[in-house]
Structure 1
Amino acid sequence: MRWWRRAREGAPQRSVVIWSRAGCHLCEQMESVVRDVAEGSAGRRGPGRGRPPVAIEVRDLDEAGREDPALLAELTTLVPVLEVDGRRVAHWQVDAQTVRAALLD
C-alpha cells in the first residue's frame, strides 16, 4: 500500500462545508463525525495517513440565506448538509464510512 499513500500525500486539500443552523443537534453530530474522520481518529490507518488534508468550514444557513434566499429555500429542510469540494454528499445524518469515501473520491 505504500504507493497509494505516496500518491495521496501530494493530493490537494479537500474543501468540506457543513451547512448548519444554530441549536441543531443533528448539525453538531455531523460536524463531530466529519472532524473525527478528517483528523484520523475514526479511520483505520491512523491520523492522516494516506489522506489528503481537509479544510472544514461550518456555515450558518440562516445567515447565508439573508444574501442568497434561493440557497435558503433549497437547503432549509435538508440541514445539516455536507458538501465535499462543492459536491453534496449527505444531509440530515452521515456516518464515518460515507465521509471517508467522499474524502477519498
Structure 2
Amino acid sequence: MIRHAEDARVVVYSRPGCHLCEVAESLVDEICVETGDSWVGVDITTDEDLTSRFTEQVPVTFVDGAQHDFWRVDPVRLRAALARAPRV
C-alpha cells in the first residue's frame, strides 16, 4: 500500500506532457468535487522510484492508498470506490 501526498483520498501518479494523465486528472477532479473527497496529482518524474515503477502505466490512480486503475479512469468504478468508507 502506498501512502503519498498528505494522505489524500485519491492520488493520481502522472508525468508532464501525458495526454491520458491530463484527462485522468480532470475526471478525478470532477468526481472528487461531486463527492467532496480530496485528491492530489504526483509527478512521477520527480522521484526515481516512482518513475521506474509507473513509467509504462501512467496515469496510475490510487484510492485510499491502494492501486485502483491505470491508463484510464473509469468514472463508475471511481465513484463506487469513493462511496465506500475510507481505509485507515
Q: Shift of the alpha carbon at 1:14?
A: 5.7
Give yes or no for contact 2:8–2:40 (8 Å, CA) kept in 1. no
Larger radius of gyration: 1
- The 5 A counterparts of 1:1-105 are 15-40=9-34, 48=35, 53-65=36-48, 69=49, 71-105=50-84
Residue identity over aligned pairs, in percent, reads 37
Instruction: Give 1:36 shift.
Output: 1.1
AA aligned to 1:93 is: R
Query: How far apart, CA to CA, are the structure 1 residues paired with 2:51 and 2:8?
Result: 24
Query: Within 2, Cα distance between the matches of 1:63 and 1:74?
Result: 13
Structure 1 outlier segments of 4+, above 4 Å: none
Q: TM-score, normalised by structure 1?
A: 0.67
Structure 2 residues without counterparts, runs of 5 or longer = 1-6
| 8 Å Cα contact 1:19/1:60 also seen in 2 | yes
1:87–1:39 Cα change, 3 Å: same
